[in-house]
Each structure stands twice: as structure tokens, then as C-alpha cells.
A and B are shown apart, each in its own frame.
Chain A
Amino acid sequence: AQSVTQLGSHVSVSEGALVLLRCNYSSSVPPYLFWYVQYPNQGLQLLLKYTSAATLVKGINGFEAEFKKSETSFHLTKPSAHMSDAAEYFCAVSGAGGTSYGKLTFGQGTILTVHP
């Protein structure tokens, strides 16, 4: 069984400040991990993915995430927030075999607000 916990349903930062969105996972098999962003009334856009090739993953729009097996974490960061980063962010996990490939399990989401 797999699960994802996103700590903090709302995060608020000032423009130019560090963005840190937390994600912890639980998986009985080696996980594949993803971060998606959702803008209002739109679908989800893939920011980045962890596939075991490298623990520090760089994604689009200046975001990156680090996989820490010992902490079962995959936190998303960005050094300097922009107003355009305001959106809802979802962490997701999928399994590494069988039909679990196709099944993404999402966290509850974190709404990021950026203040001028």
C-alpha cells in the first residue's frame, strides 16, 4: 500500500522568499515520486519526478526536490518565489511494478500563496 502526506494545507510566502512544500510518503516497494501543480480551473502539470536515478531532482520553473529515503521525504523547494507560483501543489507516488505503475496516489495538496 502507498500513501502520501503533505504537511500544511496552506503555505504563504513573500515574493522572493524561499518556498518549501513538504511531502512524506509510505510505500512497500521502491517508490516513484512526482510533484504536480494545479492552477485554478485547470488540470495538473508535472513539475518534476523522482525515478531513482538521482536523489536531487530539478524540474520546471526553478523548482527542485530531494529524495531522502531515511526520512521517507520528497520536499519541494524553490529559492525565490514569484507571484506566478501561486497555485495548488500535489505530491504523488506510484509503485514500481505491476498495475501499481498506473495508479498515482496523491497527497491532499498544498495551496501556495505568494504576497508582494
Chain B
Amino acid sequence: NAGVMQNPRHLVRRRGQEARLRCSPMKGHSHVYWYRQLPEEGLKFMVYLQKENIIDESGMPKERFSAEFPKEGPSILRIQQVVRGDSAAYFCASSPGTGPNQPQHFGDGTRLSIL
């Protein structure tokens, strides 16, 4: 049973370009979460999605960032017009439902570097 798959593992973009990060949850998981890990900081929650719905986006920057989890296909975190400060590791997690007995399983992350 494959784990949470994120791609690409490393992504390099120039300032002003767009970055698209993909996350395929574990089989049977319909809940997806995105976290960002900035250098010297812990992980910060960004957004929580279920299929076709955004449940909680309280951690998403107000501009340039968006997320989706379509009925078919992976979840996408999209960053438009990237800036140097967007350089970070972005982690996706998935769970089959909510609650402590259905903990989140994490992917290996996408490391985004902005030139």
C-alpha cells in the first residue's frame, strides 16, 4: 500500500513564476492537509481539504496561494508569482477521516527553491 506521494521532490522556480505541487493521498484517504516548513521553523498548517471541498484554509496566505482536491486526481497546491520567501519544504498529509484514531500520514515533501 503506497504511502502519500508528493511530486516533484525538488522544484526550482525563478521569481514571478508559478509553482505547482502535487499530492496523491494514501489509498482510501479522502482528507488532505498541506503544511509548510520554513527554515529554522516548525511545520505550519496551511489548508485542509476533502474531495472537492476546502474545509479549513485558515493558514493559507491571502494572496497568490490556492489549493484544490478534485474528484479525480491529486491535490494541488498552487503558488502564483513566487517570491524568495516562498522557499520552503511543503508537506502533504492524508487521513481516512477525522479524529485521533485516524492520524495523518505524511509524504516526503516538496522542497521549493526560488532563485
Q: Which residues of A contact B (CB under 8 A)?
A: 32, 34, 36, 41-46, 49-51, 90, 94, 99, 101-109
Contacts and interface: CB of A to CB of B under 8 A. Distances in A.
A43 B107 contact: yes
Chain B interface size band reads 20 to 34
Interface in B70-103: 91, 93, 95, 98-101, 103
A108 B105 CA distance: 19
Interface string B103-115: 1111111010000
6 contacts: A43-B93, A43-B106, A102-B31, A102-B56, A103-B56, A104-B35
A106 B43 contact: yes
B55 A99 contact: yes
Nearest to A105: B45
Interface of B: 4, 6, 31, 33, 35, 41-45, 48, 55-56, 58-59, 91, 93, 95, 98-101, 103-109, 111
A49 B100 contact: yes
Nearest to B99: A101
Most buried by A among B6, B41, B48: B48
B61 to A, nearest CB: 16
Given A34-B103, A49-B100, A44 B91 contact: yes
Nearest to A45: B106
